[in-house]
Amino acid sequence: MSEAIKAKLPEQKRIEKLTTINRNWFLEFGEWLKTRTSRRGKPYSPETISQMRNVVLNRLSNFGKTNANEIPIESFESFFNQERRLTTRNNKVNHIIAFYTFLSEEKKVDLPFEVTELNRHIRKKEELTNDLEGAAKALTIEEIILIRNHLINDPRRLFVFEMVYQYGLNLGELSQCVEQNYDFNTGIFKIKRNRKLEEFHVNARISNLINENRFILKPIAKTGSQDRFKTLGVILQEKGLMNKTVRWKDIEKTRERNFFRCPGCEKLYENTPDNWALIQHEIDEHKTKWIVCRSTCAVTGV
């Protein structure tokens, strides 16, 4: 199999999972774009067409068996709110407008809304919502449980969430979490963090997730991990289970609240009982009990 075919394979698989109607519309949309011009009167470049197709494919993929002409306009807000950069957000809106213009004008499809209604999602800099640019908001315990429960059948996104939440990894570090850097026997990753090679032992939750779904350690681009992360809250929003997006800084804020530093080894652990133990030193005449991490410092549990 050639490298070119391999590069296209993921997109082909996603296209195959679309409904027959969506698949046909999507493929025809790509051909239609080649005959159109931008607002500047110039033909769309292959790169622009690729970007437009990718946005539309992402949108259609989110709705499974629902055809494009059955997607309610109310659901677009959370999709557009994934983007924190104004230009990226507005480009995404324009790409979706182009697709629905194609359906309305070229395919004569009856839509549940006017295409012009999508224009209200175009944002000016001063109009960006607090949800995009506001202060970090820590996830509640209930929201963490909700994410874990509803991603149980989506191991790739669950893995990204757990690695960011449990270990504070950034995109570059996430992209290093692949088979060649992981020891399945010990549960230890070896990756570069802050320009140094670092080892860290994943907890039982993540270890089990990896062992049951080894494919999640297949190499992926930074943008792939970013897309999986950005859609965490969106998926739950569209199911009516969460009313906000999940941002990187929200997870960082959550870690600040939910993780304690062990006084012994100075490593961070989540504030759940399975991570901590009480110890008592023999030389302590007052028999003081200290809280330390169970994995490293709990030499004598009490």
Q: Which residues, listed in sequence order, are joined to residue 192 by a DSSP beta bridge? A: 197
CA distance 289 to 29: 68
Q: Are residues 38 and 147 in the same domain?
A: no
Instruction: Among 133, 153, 172, give the residue marking a domain's end.
Output: 133
Tell whether 300 is covered by a domain: no
Question: How many CB atoms within 10 Å of residue 212?
Answer: 9
Percent of the chain predicted with pLDDT > 70: 89
From 250, 85, 236, 244, select the one nearest 158 (Cα to Cα).
236
Asked if residue 245 has pLDDT above 60, the reply is yes
Tell whether 214 is covered by a domain: yes
**CB 95 within 8 Å of CB 60:** no
The set of residues, in sequence order, having a beta carbon less than 8 Å from that of 68 and lying 6+ positions away, is 21, 22, 25, 60, 99, 100, 103, 109
Range of the domain at 285: 262-293
Output the domain CATH number for residue 164: 1.10.443.10
Tell whether 298 is covered by a domain: no
Asked if residue 2 has pLDDT above 50, the reply is no
Residue 3 confidence (pLDDT)? 29
Q: Are residues 210 and 116 in the same domain?
A: no
Tell whether 302 is covered by a domain: no
Q: Are residues 112 and 151 in the same domain?
A: no
The model carries a pTM of 0.57
Tell whether 240 is covered by a domain: yes
**Of 2-16, 55-69, 195-209, minimum mean pLDDT range:** 2-16
Asked if residue 90 has pLDDT above 90, the reply is no
Q: Are residues 158 and 250 in the same domain?
A: yes
| Number of domains comprising the chain | 3
- Over residues 232-247, the mean pLDDT reads 73
Instruction: Among 111, 133, 155, give the residue marking a domain's end.
Output: 133
- Over residues 196-204, the mean pLDDT reads 90
Q: Are residues 221 and 164 in the same domain?
A: yes
- pLDDT tens for 202-218 read 999 999 999 999 999 99
Residue 93 confidence (pLDDT)? 93
Tell whether 299 is covered by a domain: no
- pLDDT tens for 3-41 read 233 334 477 888 989 999 999 999 999 999 999 988 778
Asked if residue 262 has pLDDT above 80, the reply is yes
